[in-house]
Amino acid sequence: MTTLELLFTVSAIFWVLIFLYLTWLHSKIMKISKKLNKLKV
Amino acid sequence: MFYMIKGENMKKIYPIIIFLVNLAALYMIFLWAPPERTLGDSYRVFFIHTPSAWVSYLAFTITFLSSILYLKTRNFKWDLYASSSALLGLLFCIITIITGAIWAKVAWGLYWNWDPRQTTTLVLMLAYLGYISFRMAIDDKEQRARVSSVLGILAFISIPLSYLSTIILATIHPMPLIPTSKLQIGVEPTILQTLLTSTFAVTLLFLWMFYITVEMYRTIDTIKSVKMENVK
């Protein structure tokens, strides 16, 4: 693995995992807002 | 300046601040910091690996303190902080282990060497994985909070174990930055500044994610209690 590949892989892993967590949070929040709307009705 | 920005505006502005600080950190990591004398450019991995490790320690410390405060006050707010922080700590701990393993492959020739630091960090991760699994297995809110607070305190033992492993045990992992004399640290100022900036950027990112996670779990709790009242 060259230095460039190493740096790219490490940065990608960091940001992809952060992105996946934020996506999971977003999908959870969307579900909650749907439930909240149902409760309001 | 920021104290003038109120509530809702701050929620919109904070992600922009995080984005800009992280952008500046990335610039410093890849373009500003000079290559290291012995490791060359590969040492730049530390600017991602070390802040992730620091944030995971910070998150688990929040879990530890919140667990103590829950047992003392029986206020569910602390349980919420403890669980949200543990979840994020686990995420950053996984990042630390993966990035460390990749660097280990380049530097030591193997992804996993059972080095004391690698092993103790794995123990740390497993301890908090257990903490989260226990939480998911218990339905009763009060029991869950009580049991997980005890676990949150017990799991904290693995943090000094992981941190001190490079100092106490024979390891090939690089030593932590320890000041050699008053305000004098044995690294180049540019490298130290980059490390501090990247640590600050990742900490800001963590605090924002922590805030969103707490708010999400708080809303879920509110919905559950409203549903329970409707059933009654």
User: What is the pTM for the complete model shown?
Assistant: 0.89
Whether A7 sits inside 8 A of B41 (CB atoms) is yes
Q: What is the predicted pLDDT for the residue at B176?
A: 64
Termini Cα distance of chain A: 57
* ipTM score: 0.89
pLDDT confidence band for B3 (50 / 70 / 90): very low
Chain mean pLDDT for chain B = 87
Distances, alpha carbon B75 to alpha carbons B71, B128, B145, B165, B213, in Å: 8, 22, 10, 35, 18
Backbone angles phi, psi at B33, to 5 degrees: -70, 135
Residue B226 has pLDDT above 80, yes or no: no
Distances, alpha carbon B139 to alpha carbons B135, B136, B147, in Å: 8, 8, 12
Indicate the SS3 state at residue A2: coil
Q: What is the pLDDT of residues B99-119, one digit of tens each?
A: 999 989 888 888 998 988 999
Whether B105 sits inside 8 A of A17 (CB atoms) is no
Whether A25 sits inside 8 A of B205 (CB atoms) is no
Q: What is the predicted pLDDT for the residue at B92?
A: 97
Listed in sequence order, the residues at least 6 apart from B47 whose beta carbon sits closer than 8 Å to its beta carbon are: B25, B28, B29, B33, B194, B195, B198
Q: Which residue of B has its CA nearest to A28?
A: B216
- Rounded-to-integer distance, Cα A17 and Cα A39, Å: 33
- Rounded-to-integer distance, Cα B170 and Cα B232, Å: 61
Q: How far is B94 from chain A (nearest CA, A)?
A: 9
Indicate the SS3 state at residue A15: helix
Query: What is chain A's alpha carbon radius of gyration, rounded to the nearest angstrom?
Result: 18
Tell me if B166 sits within 8 A of B159, measured CB to CB. no
